[in-house]
Structure 1
Amino acid sequence: MKRILMLGLIFLGMASFSNLQAKELPNPTGRVILTVTGAISNTNTAGGAAVFDRQMLVNLGMTSLKTGTPWSEGVDLYEGPLLRSLINAVGANTDTLSITALNDYGALVPVKDSFDYDVILAIDMNGEAMRIRDKGPIFVLYPFDTDPNLSNEVIYNRSVWQIKAISVE
């Protein structure tokens, strides 16, 4: 009897642990602007993907980044969630993200970058929602002006704009 009780407690503990690991994300109420697929444990679709509308990204917590970029003149104020916040929200278990733009341009971004630097998923520029013509709706942005080591072609290629999807590989 003791053995059965002990096995039952172990099973319940494992079930509780797995519930902590995998959880459903809220469903979007607005237009979906980002789809995350692959090795993720937290989803909100029957197909096992995590889809986000703008408000869901805002709810991850907004971070401000004032920086210049190689693709713009001067310095702009960008705001959006940290890339690592998205990684945590979807329960990503990977070393690499494959990020795809609306025009199907893609880049591989090491997850390590999101913890080494405050990489943001910019959704606002100078207080306005980023439009497609302004590299929106989402732009992977590194803090170029705070770390001169980020001003190189490798990092520029990882700075995907007009993002539509991220595959966790």
Structure 2
Amino acid sequence: MSPLWPCRAVLTFSLLLLLGTSLPMMADQLPPPEGDVLLRVTGDIDHPNVGDELHLDREMLLSLPQGVIETSTPWTEGVGRFEGPLLSALLEVAGTQSEHVRIQALNEYESEVPVSDFHDHGVILALERDGEPIAVRDLGPMFVLYPFDERPELLNETVRHRSVWHVGSIHVP
């Protein structure tokens, strides 16, 4: 038996424990939301929970794997600490293999975003800024956020148009 066996066993157990805690959110059928629906995911998804759509309330969104981005933006003052679910994790829960999605704001503005952005840049659906929920008057309740300060090359017209605020729905074609 290798002297590294105890370390590998602990690592394997830790990974299984971590995966076990995320399994309820990865189930084929998520329960319907108990709170107010903040986000609807429609279209070609494998894991709907209300008819053929995935509806998520704030608690469900907060239970997804989260990301933190500390950045300034063209629409806010100063550097903020933004937190919210990773969009890559959200699409995994929805069960989609699409290469792009259409993100629509509450005012019906929409932008087509390549899913590769979510994986390549750790894009989040920001729900909080500096520990507080983002109000509708301040780009909320949700905001597609890229790590602009960490990757200044993303601060271009194309990515700014993909950074939808007042997000209400995501459509998977």
3-state secondary structure, aligned to 1:87: helix
- Which runs of at least 4 in structure 1 moved beyond 6 Å after TM superposition? none
Which blocks of at least 5 consecutive residues in structure 1 are unaligned? 1-20
Q: Which residue of 2 aligns with 1:161?
A: 165
Give the gaps of 5 or more residues in structure 2: 1-25
Cα shift at 1:22: 7.7
Corresponding position of 2:41: 36
Query: 1:133 is paired with a residue of what secondary structure?
Result: helix
Q: Matches of 2:43 and 2:160 in 1, distance apart?
A: 24
Aligned residues: 148
Tell me: CA distance 1:78–1:136, structure 2 relative to 1, closer, same or farther (3 Å).
same
1:136 paired with 2:140, answer yes
Q: 1:77 aligns with which of 78, 81, 86?
A: 81
Shift of 1:135: 0.6
Aligned to 2:22: none
Write the distance in 2 (CA, Å) between the matches of 1:62 and 1:84: 10
CA distance in 1, matches of 2:58, 2:137: 17
The answer for the alignment partner of 2:151 in structure 1 is 147
Q: Residue 103 of structure 2: which of 99, 102, 119 is its match? A: 99
Using structure 2 for the length normalisation, give the TM-score: 0.83
- Residues 17-37 of structure 1 show CA distances to partners (whole Å, capped at 9, x for unaligned) of xxxx98111221100010000
- Larger radius of gyration between Structure 1 and Structure 2: 1
